[in-house]
Chains A and B, each alone.
Chain A
Amino acid sequence: MLVSILLAVSITLMYSAPLMFAGLGGVISENAGVVNIGIEGMMTIGAFFGAAVGYFSGNPWLGFLAGGLSGGLLALAHAVASISFRADQTISGVALNFIGPGLALFLSRKLFAGSAMTKPVEHPIPTIFGSYAAKSSNVLIKAANIEMTVPIVFICAFVLWFVLYKTSWGLRIRSVGENPAAADTLGINVYRIKYLAVFVSGVLSGFGGATMTLAVMNYFTQSTISGQGFIALAAVIFGKWKPHGTMAACLLFGFAQALVVLLGGSNSKIQIPSSLLSMLPYVLTLISLVLFVRHSSAPKADGIPYVKGH
């Protein structure tokens, strides 16, 4: 019993980690007043670069960083559009959701002999107990042997929370999301903060994608990222734009994805058609939004382009 609970927790954490990275990305961007619908695209490009660099270098951490960086670079395009050119942030984000997967598949075909799927990564992200778990006879250790990305995302969440609520940078970031004109008159560089927040948002989303290909699966394909970016956005709303709330929401959605694995296994007692199980995370996201999002507590200037001097 303990083993199966532990296993369920591990699988939940495994599936939650990519969502959590992306969710934290959403939190920082939206707290600085930029809606980032493009998270999905940033996750996709991060997932691809994570797998590709991980495959060619043989080093998963290099892949992980490359995934983050690629997400960050794509996010810069969103920053240029939405901050400097005051574009409609939704449309610009959607554009990135075209460009991200387009670029990922284009490069995949170029680098992997015309295939829309990368080769499997030989060394994925290590687990917390590493090879010790394989040798160990302790079933608990085997069950709790989660990937390093899980502790990393929790550390990221703590750091983000601390920065947002306990430091002067956080005060400035939040002021930009709430009332950029106020921040501007006090000599705070609104554009720089927004750029930085969007870039970090992209890096975190890229990490989320790379987690998917380096810790959850071990290759990239067209359907690796299928809606996780949007589920992460829903988690941001559900978590009231706060890091801790978003983490909790991601756990819930990660659990729904874990259920697909846990209940879909052939040795499971209840047989539910896999298509219906696969629907679960999306249905749960919708239902939780309906049930819990009564009044919005989004940053006041979220999604509104800031024009200096207006």
Chain B
Amino acid sequence: MGSKIAELLNKTATKIILAIVLGFIAGALALAVAGYDPGTSYSMMFTSIFSSPQNMIQVLILTMPNILTGLSVAFAFKTGLFNIGGEGQYIVGAIAAVMVGGVLNLPPVINVIVIVLVAFVAAGLYGALAGFLKAKFGIHEVITTIMLNWIALYLNNYLVSLPGIGVKNTEYSFPIKQSAWTNVLNGWKTSPHGQAYLSTHPALSTILLGTDINYGIIIAIVVAIAVSFLLYRTTFGYQIRAVGLNKDAAEAAGIRVKKSIVMTMFIAGGLSGLAGALQMTGTLPHALVTLANQPGYGFNGITVALMANSSPIGCIFTALLLSALQFGGSTIQMNLGAPSEVVNIMIGVIVFFVAVASMFTMISERIKRRRVKIAG
């Protein structure tokens, strides 16, 4: 009995599930202390998601950027880097997408591909800058990426404030041209034929016209599979994992460590940038907005990656969980008046307990040792 518990406690999956459970317990405590019934709140968070197809789609729309920023953080983790610059890279990706997509007018699919590639490269370079500063000067990437987050935010605001880019008397920039939108049935649903059809099919209409339903989530899942392949099946993946696990040994074996760091941060940045770009092409207002605070997807990526133990495929599911939580959090604010920030506390506690996962290992060892002593 004891040994089984000990073994179970030592499994990564168990540790992460326990961390999530503890996060929920902490959230319940916070709610209870603040005078809200945790049971009601949690069940509302859960049921609200399934209360309508729109809500479910809303969660999926939220999931897309979280998968990609999660992949961004997870990928950097594999080289031993902590990319908390997802926020800034997301913004740079969005900026690049809007700057290109607002001007360029190529055939629909090609247009999207070009925009996405440009955004990937722009955000990739932004990420690579942090990688370069780490490789060349040894400056901790956590500090540089945080600084770059704020720089990107103010760059965004500066651009929106410029006459040629911002729309006068609004907080928006010019939008991406419709040919580059990634919404489902984008052209059809606004065509006369489509509108006529939708007016007689209200269920479909609420989904297609009432939400920003777009292809982003599918692209994100495909990217997750691609990242997994890159990491575990290719020489490049081998190389960056070797660097992440022991950079001294990798260096001695002839692997170019500094180049790996910069390359990894390029890809990590690109993945976050992809989130920003697909958000611009997929959701209203398809334009940059003046930001008072960080968009939050980059930080979400940290939680997603940690909960997934940096597994790219795992990121798909943990991003879904996180998005559901955040969506649910907003509903309890609306309906119960309970602060939605309870979700932030839960996320923080989950990350905290993922960090102290060794706690569970230590408990497991203690159980085992007691057994050995009894047996010995």
Contact = CB atoms under 8 A, between A and B. Distances in A.
**A and B touching (Cβ–Cβ under 8 A):** yes
Interface of A: 37, 77, 80-81, 85-88, 90-92, 94-103, 105-106, 109-110, 114, 222-223, 226-227, 230-231, 233-234, 237, 273, 275-276, 278-279, 282-283, 285-286, 289-290, 293-296
28 contacts: A81-B356, A87-B355, A91-B82, A91-B306, A91-B355, A95-B348, A96-B352, A99-B348, A100-B348, A102-B341, A102-B342, A102-B347, A105-B341, A106-B344, A110-B35, A226-B293, A227-B146, A233-B143, A237-B140, A237-B143, A275-B161, A276-B154, A278-B157, A279-B151, A282-B154, A290-B139, A293-B139, A295-B138
Interface string B129-171: 0000100011110111011111100110110010000000000
Interface in B325-344: 337, 339, 341-344
B56 to A, nearest CB: 26
With a 10 A CB-CB cut-off, give which of B35, B337, B351 has the most chain A CB atoms.
Answer: B351
Contacts of A105: 339, 341, 344
B137 A95 contact: no
A87 B140 CA distance: 18
B355 A289 contact: no
A288 B337 CA distance: 45
B345 interface: yes
Most buried by B among A77, A273, A276, A286: A286
Contacts of B154: 275-276, 278-279, 282
Contacts of B35: 110
Contacts of B347: 98, 102
Nearest to A86: B358
A286 B292 contact: no
Contacts of B354: 91, 95
B150 A273 contact: no
A223 to B, nearest CB: 6
User: Which of B161, B337, B341 is most buried by chain A, counting CB atoms within 10 A of its CB?
Assistant: B341
Q: 3 closest Cβ contacts across the A-B interface?
A: A102-B344, A98-B348, A99-B348
Contacts of A88: 355
Nearest to A230: B146
B167 to A, nearest CB: 16
Interface of B: 30, 34-35, 82, 84, 133, 137-140, 142-144, 146-151, 154-155, 157-158, 161, 292-293, 299, 302-303, 306, 337, 339, 341-345, 347-349, 351-352, 354-359, 362
B183 to A, nearest CB: 30
Contacts of B150: 226-227, 279, 282
A99 B158 contact: no
Contacts of A81: 352, 355-356
A234 B145 CA distance: 12
Contacts of B343: 102
A223 B150 CA distance: 12
Contact of B138 (A91, A230, A275, A296): A296
A96 B35 CA distance: 24
B142 A87 contact: no
B163 to A, nearest CB: 11
B82 A90 contact: yes
Contacts of A114: 337, 339
Nearest to A295: B138
Given A87-B355, A286-B144, A94 B345 contact: no
Given A87-B357, A92-B356, A275-B155, 12 more contacts: A85-B359, A94-B355, A95-B351, A98-B299, A98-B345, A100-B348, A102-B343, A103-B345, A106-B339, A106-B345, A282-B150, A283-B147
Contacts of A86: 358
Contact of A90 (B142, B157, B158, B356): B142
Nearest to B31: A106
Nearest to B337: A114
Contacts of A110: 34-35, 339
A94 B84 contact: yes
A290 B341 contact: no
Contacts of A230: 142-143, 146-147
Given A114-B337, A290-B137, A87 B358 contact: yes
A234 B143 contact: yes
A227 B144 CA distance: 11
Given A94-B84, A222-B293, A273 B348 contact: no
A101 B299 CA distance: 13
Contacts of A90: 82, 142
A99 B349 CA distance: 7
Given A98-B344, A103-B345, A285 B139 contact: no
Contacts of A102: 341-345, 347-348
Contacts of A278: 154, 157
B337 to A, nearest CB: 6
B76 to A, nearest CB: 12
Given A95-B349, A102-B347, A282-B151, A289 B293 contact: no
A85 B356 CA distance: 6
A109 B341 contact: yes
Nearest to A231: B147
A285 B148 CA distance: 10
A223 B293 contact: yes
B351 A94 contact: yes
A90 B305 CA distance: 14
A279 B155 CA distance: 8
A230 B347 CA distance: 21
Contacts of A296: 138
Nearest to B136: A290
A282 to B, nearest CB: 4
A207 B155 CA distance: 31
A296 B139 CA distance: 9
Given A102-B341, A226-B150, A282-B147, A275 B158 contact: yes
A275 B288 CA distance: 15
B137 A275 contact: no
Contacts of B143: 230, 233-234, 237, 285, 289
